[in-house]
Amino acid sequence: MARYDFASDNVAGAMPEVMEALAAANAGAASGYGTDHVSARAADLIRAALDADADIRFTASGTAANCLALGILAQPHEAVLAHEHAHICTDETGAPGFFGAGVGLIPLPGASGRIDPAALQAALAEPDVSYRQPAAALSLTNATEYGTVQSVEALAALVKPVKAMGYGVHLDGARLSNAVAAGFDLKAVATMGVDILVMGGTKAGSTPTEALVLLNKDLGRRLDARLKHAGQLVSKGRFLSAPWIGMLETGAWSIRAAHANAMARKLAALMPFPIAHPVEANGIFVEMDEAALERLRAKGWFVYRFLDGTVRFMCSWATTPEMVEELGSALREIA
């Protein structure tokens, strides 16, 4: 039987703080479609964590949240700049174009998931022409798809020329909790020019929920109609918002991410294969040939070969030191 412990950080169940909050929210009746008291409390906690005013809604998936955001920031004849290996470019099956009625993507290079500033400047300098979707927004990711954490200064340097052009900025924070646990200042998001943040809950250790945070409230016109049109205005909305009360009131959102990051560092210390990217959050990416990968899978451990050809190991809130040591032993045996 295959073990999926390190295949992704979405293979773990929900943390106890989330389940307790869901049980509490389950009591009694509440108004529907996100107008309930639970959703209001969760939104207040997110605003406090960001130290910013914002319009906040909750979706059932990161794909929906990301692509709704892009559809707000770009028109169907326009495109979004993003790292070539960003989730929106590689793992969302054309959803940006679906949710945005044709919105395109402009992939940019950069080491370890970070956009190369020179490549961004070159893309921004491209002339508007009739036969190509022009850039209208920038999408950033923190932590990146390769488990690296971008500093406030690095992100601000990418945002500045984009805002100077009058374009919008989206931040995919599927693993933002891991970036925060690694030292990223959450309160800086609102001050650096991000228009829409997707604050990740599912990978942080929740049941499915992502927070769509409109830091630029001018973009919120007919937001609920947009959500309804996209199938994301959930009738029992309190069950999408309640997990945030459990994660934020207790601090578990970042505390448990810090544990996941620590488990990644522990695994990195045991890793007999070359590590390809800095281990700064909860992922380890290693150089491993196909024969070694098959030997590992034959021992029952399933992990993915990633976009750049490396093999990815992800730690979660539920990863234990014993699990890491057991995997470490298996890796040494197959190396």
- Structure confidence at residue 11 (pLDDT): 96
Q: What is the pLDDT of residue 313?
A: 98
**The model's pTM:** 0.96
Give the pLDDT confidence score for residue 238 in this predicted structure.
Answer: 98
Is the CB of residue 335 less than 8 Å from the CB of residue 13?
Answer: no
Task: Give residue 281's pLDDT.
Answer: 98
Residue 148 near residue 182 (C-beta atoms within 8 A):
no
Q: What is the pLDDT of residue 1?
A: 82
In this prediction, residue 113 carries a pLDDT of: 98
Contacts of 182 (CB under 8 A, 6+ apart): 143, 149, 261, 280, 281
Q: Which domains does the chain have, with CATH numbers?
A: 16-249 (3.40.640.10), 252-334 (3.90.1150.10)
Half-sphere exposure of 66 (CA within 13 A, CB side): 26
Cα-Cα-Cα-Cα dihedral sign, residues 176, 293, 93, 157: positive
Residue-level pLDDT, tens digit, the chain, 335 residues: 889 999 999 999 999 999 999 999 999 999 999 999 999 999 999 999 999 999 999 999 999 999 999 999 999 999 999 999 999 999 999 999 999 999 999 999 999 999 999 999 999 999 999 999 999 999 999 999 999 999 999 999 999 999 999 999 999 999 999 999 999 999 999 999 999 999 999 999 999 999 999 999 999 999 999 999 999 999 999 999 999 999 999 999 999 999 999 999 999 999 999 999 999 999 999 999 999 999 999 999 999 999 999 999 999 999 999 999 999 999 999 99
Under a CB-based contact definition with an 8 Å cutoff, are residues 83 and 90 in contact?
no
